[in-house]
Amino acid sequence: MWRPISELTDWRALSADSWDEISRGRVKLQKHLEAVIKSLHDWQIAERQRWRGWQAGTIKKPSLLVIDDDPVGGRKIVAELEKEGYQVSWARTGEQGLSLLDRQKVDLILLDIVLSDADGLEICRQLKTSPVTAGVPVVFVTAMGDDDVIRRGFAYGGQDYVRKPVKTFELLARVKTHLTIKQTQDQLAQLNTELNEANRIVRDQNRQLIETINELETAAITDVLTGLNNRRYMHTRLSEAIGLAGRGMSGFSLIMADIDFFKAVNDTYGHNGGDSVLRVVAETIRAGIRKIDVAARWGGEEFLVLLPGVGLAEAAACAERLRAAVAGRELMLGDRSLRVTMSQGVAEWQPGDREETVVHAADRRLYLAKSGGRNKVVSEG
């Protein structure tokens, strides 16, 4: 469960680069959504201007295919369409029409139902089952007056029909209507693709933002060098523990630990060697406590461990195990080996104690462990 950045104790400590990364992601998302909205607006304007442009001859008109074996009627249809500026191809047989569609993309098909070599309805069925031509509107041109044939034409996927002899105004009106519908559908399909892409970006950005927030939250409560929690986070957890203990729910104990002669380690092995020692000791502490316990780098070579629900004797036993584990580890710094020890003070929260009270008690006992010879645990005094 992640919390909003605003609730993190030390959100002000986050780097400027981290905030810049989030801001760049939001700007990218906003620009894409603005582009989609602009596409919608541009499309509306383009639709209003499209036919005006065609009329003026400034925009390339759609490509039409006429499949009609009537030499007179077919030629008339082609002529009327070309007068309007359409690009028209004329196939005089069904086979010729299908062959042409394999090589050429068209925007609308005018199809005679009765052809010398094929059934126009069957050709329509083939066109509507092909992914290449399924979206191309088919307008039947027929001299047949049988309503059943017309119904079958619609059932096979035809969009409309014009009866022969063809009336020019009717032909042009129906062609324009179905071209407009197709162009609108094409535009909507493109916009749908863009919106799907926008949704994908939103999902990706949300995921990335959540991951970034989680990473920032972890960074905000973590000591970079040791990987333990940091002092600010320990203050938060101490405040929570005192609140619980004050309501009689559960007490806690603290272990304040300090690496012995750490300055000598830095002086002898350099700061890189000292950092390696801090990491090993932190790793040892982490491995020696429960999952519900909280370990933090308190400052420098000092560590503080919060043990919820643990009394003084049990906490002292835990500290002794940690002391022995640290003392028993051999560290390799380059080609040299090193052993370090750790002194610890243990204190148990008492009713009425504030944070500084119990921390001071653990720190005081740490001082007693240091002054008493180091590499030991003190839980009294």
Tens-digit pLDDT profile for residues 50-95: 556 655 555 568 999 999 999 999 999 999 999 999 999 999 999 9
**Token pair recorded at residue 255:** 């272990």
Q: What pairing do the DSSP bridges indicate for beta strands 336-338 and 342-348?
A: unpaired
> In the prediction, which pLDDT does 235 show?
96
| Catalytic-labelled residue, pool 84, 301, 348, 380 | 301
Checking if the pLDDT of 358 tops 90, the result is yes
The residues, ordered by sequence, that sit 6+ positions from 341 with a Cβ below 8 Å of its Cβ are 259, 260, 323, 326, 327, 374, 375
* Average model confidence (pLDDT) across the chain: 87
Straight-line distance from the first to the last Cα atom of the chain, in angstroms, rounded to the nearest whole number: 41
Tens-digit pLDDT profile for residues 175-228: 999 999 998 888 888 888 888 888 888 788 788 878 877 887 888 899 999 999
**How many CB atoms are closer than 10 A to CB 208?**
14
Spatial distance between the Cα atoms of 215 and 212, rounded to a whole number of angstroms: 5
Q: Is 170 a catalytic residue?
A: no
pTM above 0.75, yes or no: no
CATH number, domain 231-378: 3.30.70.270
Decide: residue 207, CB within 10 A, 0-12 exposed, 13-18 middle, 19+ buried: exposed
**Token pair recorded at residue 133:** 């031509």
Tens-digit pLDDT profile for residues 290-300: 999 999 999 99
User: Looking up tokens 């949704």, which residue turns up?
Assistant: 199
Sheet strands side by side (includes 108-112): 87-91, 63-67, 108-112, 138-142, 160-163
Tens-digit pLDDT profile for residues 264-295: 999 999 999 999 999 999 999 999 999 999 99
**How many CB atoms are closer than 10 A to CB 376?**
18
Measure the CA angle with vertex 277, ends 272 and 279; round to 5°.
Answer: 95
Mean pLDDT of the 353-372 span:
97
Sheet strands side by side (includes 252-259): 294-299, 302-308, 252-259, 342-348, 377-378
Mean pLDDT of the 243-262 span:
94
**Token pair recorded at residue 303:** 């560590």
The domains of the chain are located at: 231-378
